[in-house]
Amino acid sequence: MNIVIFGKPQSGKTTLFQILTGLGEKRRHMAVVEAKDPRLVKVAEAEGSSKITFVHMGFEDPPAREMLSEMRAALGLIHVVRSGEPLREIGEAEEDFLEKDLKTVEAALEKAQKQYSRQKSRDLERKISALNGALEVLSEGKPLRQAYPHDKEEFSGLGLLSLKPIIHVVNVKFEELEGFLPIEKEEKGRAVVVMDLLTEKELLESGDEERQQLMEEFGIRELKAEGFVARIYRVLDLLVFFTANRREARAWTLRRNSTVLEAAGKIHTDMAKGFVRAEVAGWEEFVSAGGWSGLHRAGKVRLEGKDYRVRDGDVLNIRFNK
């Protein structure tokens, strides 16, 4: 899972990169970090797992010459803007995405139509139909994320920017925070967040006791950086499920509203091919029961078929024919 952070010079994008990757003052363009989830730690303790594997998330702060190509390849985007006229700057960025996507879709449609004239196929028919639909959406001035899922097969490889989930971070000074809070918004595929990045970075680098004292002194109830990964999951429309045995407890990401069969395929293709049933428990129930053995003794293991919709925090054990 790779996320690109972009913004104008001095916007604070490098500060946000440092906050999310824990690199302090070191300047690097890319870092892969563990998205540590306390729920998984408790699941591992309940099952007696000897190893814990968190979801790995890659953050990139690429140089200007590589920015566009990296943005096109990313799963999601984070746009950092300074206070002043943040809504105007956000609008300009999204308008630029629409213009670039319009050119990309027009070129892809022309290519697909030429291929179809030489050799007709249902795949090309579907692609041409999807591209015509995308042109209509873009011509209305709407981002593609409003009309399509970000992993739509017909758009694969095009790197459409307005299709990508995005978080706009408005970087303001602490004394300006309250005045900008009304522009905060979160919806599927898009969010606007107001933060004082420098203050949050300094607090995160402080010791626990000093941080608590400073937060009380300045009336800061919570650090938005601490919940930023969870926000990324929400905007990307992802959930986290777990698998656990004595050897390893592991977290996995999955699109919301996905079936347990799709979850099985994330773990291993053989599990999806030979799927029989899934043992399912919510993570809290799993922990309270003392893992799989406790759930079985209490008769609380749910057996679900391939159409079961996975919930955030589910612990799964896939039964399959090898």
pLDDT tier at 81, thresholds 50, 70, 90: very high
Residue 105 has pLDDT above 70, yes or no: yes
Mean pLDDT value across residues 23-52: 86
Residue 138 has pLDDT above 80, yes or no: yes
Listed residue (94, 83, 81, 79) closest to 180, CA to CA: 83
The pLDDT of residue 23 is 58
Of 72-76, 217-221, 298-302, 306-310, the poorest mean pLDDT is in 217-221
Write down all domains in the chain, each with its CATH number in brackets: 238-320 (3.10.20.30)
Taking all residues of the chain, what is their mean pLDDT, rounded to a whole number?
A: 95
Phi-psi category of residue 224: left, alpha or beta, with phi > 0 → left and psi -120 to 50 → alpha: alpha
pLDDT tier at 29, thresholds 50, 70, 90: confident
Residue 24 has pLDDT above 90, yes or no: no
Mean pLDDT value across residues 73-91: 96
> What are the tens digits of pLDDT across the range 200-259?
999 999 999 999 999 999 889 889 999 999 999 999 999 999 999 999 999 999 999 999
CA distance 302 to 280: 5
CA distance 12 to 167: 14
pLDDT tier at 28, thresholds 50, 70, 90: low
Residue 126 has pLDDT above 60, yes or no: yes
CA distance 162 to 164: 5
pLDDT tier at 55, thresholds 50, 70, 90: very high
